[in-house]
Amino acid sequence: MNKKNLILLILSLLIITGGVIAYNIYGKIYKPNVVKDGFIFIKTNSTLTDVENEISPFLKQVKSFAWVAKRKNYQEAIKPGKYKIIKGFSNNDIINVLRSGQQTPTLVVFNNQHTLEDLSGRVAEQIEADSISILNAMTDVVFLEKNQFTLKSALGMYVPNSYEFYWNTTAEQFRDRMFIEYNRFWNEKRENEAKKLNLSRTKVIALASIVQKETAKISERPIVAGLYLNRLKRGWPLQADPTIIYALKEKHGKDFMVKRVLKKDLKINSPYNTYKNRGIPPTLIAMPDISSIDAVLFSKKHNYFYMCASVEKIGYHEFANTLSQHNRNARKYQRWISDKGINR
């Protein structure tokens, strides 16, 4: 082989080698590497290794992703959050999405939480902040005093609904957003209705929590709320069994089971005992749904003053105008519950 041919051969090999290298580099950057759709959750202060571990179940080749990430200096621009990646994405596509910080919002949903501890646990399942940090933010004394809440009334600030958040929302950001939503919920129309009833937000929510615990039937809540409002207008005690159950659980612990309120229970010494104390209890006894709050604000007008669980329509109540009517309904219910063997 003459010198000229040797040079041509070497040049050809270099071109081919360069082409192979270029093709491999191009493939690492632009070739599809994501094998399935999904979301990845990048925690605050994550390293590139943390991101690799999080994203590896979605990738054909983890090493190629790490190679591209380093060349694009992604390790210096890691942004926490929830990100959607799509099947067929290249490593370049992934890095561009992650570096942009353009998260996919997450829906935070909660309802029927009995305590701030329960609520913080429920929320922690849906955002990055842990339950302890969320509970600490919720019970922060400075925040509560500034916004006229107490540890007992603070649960009423959290209106059950679905809210859009970024996954890496902090505990304080969550709490502050909920305060904004609380004030938004109490719009002019609701405020006006509360004024007509001569009730504060706290008292409306407290009464709504009793309505909530009294009936699971949304259609029945305006009737129940109207009944309690009728008793309040007459200066009668509410005599609501859910408040007795709440007082018993406060005394014996939240795991104390109460399936039947006994006569002796009505003597419990508690500001939440609505048999001994007139008016609405100091604070809510559970988290009321929006339907229960609006049931109080827009209650059904009627002449009922008494109610008793129905034995014919399970889950509903029998309503009465007079004590004699109510006593008949109550005797029927007591016989039914005794036949079921429910003693406590």
Instruction: Name which of 87, 74, 84 is nearest 32 in CA terms.
Output: 87
Exposure string of 86-120, with b = 16+ CB inside 10 Å and e = fewer, is eeebbbebbbebbbeeebeebebebbebbebbbbb
What number is the average pLDDT over the span 211-238? 97
Q: What was the pLDDT predicted at 23? A: 45
For residue range 56-73, list pLDDT tens digits in order. 999 999 999 999 999 999
- State yes or no: pLDDT of 341 exceeds 80: no
Contact residues for 124 (Cβ-Cβ < 8 A; gap 6+)? 130, 131, 134
Of all residues in the chain, what percent carry a pLDDT higher than 70? 91
What number is the average pLDDT over the span 91-118? 93
Instruction: Name which of 62, 63, 64, 58 is nearest 29 in CA terms.
Output: 64
Q: What is the pTM of this model?
A: 0.87
CA distance 101 to 27: 25
Determine contact, residues 281/274, Cβ cutoff 8 Å: yes
For residue range 288-338, list pLDDT tens digits in order. 999 999 999 999 999 999 999 888 888 899 999 999 899 898 888 888 877
- The CATH class given to the 25-100 domain equals alpha beta
Strand partners, 161: 110
What does DSSP assign to residue 148?
Answer: T
Alpha-helical segments (H) within 215-343: 221-234, 241-252, 290-297, 323-339
What number is the average pLDDT over the span 146-163? 97
Determine contact, residues 325/317, Cβ cutoff 8 Å: no
- State yes or no: pLDDT of 137 exceeds 80: yes
Determine contact, residues 153/182, Cβ cutoff 8 Å: no
- State yes or no: pLDDT of 129 exceeds 70: yes
What does DSSP assign to residue 151?
Answer: T
Q: Domain extents for the chain?
A: 25-100, 106-185, 188-339
CA distance 79 to 100: 8
Instruction: Name which of 105, 101, 94 is nearest 167 in CA terms.
Output: 105
H or E element in which residue 162 lies: strand 161-165
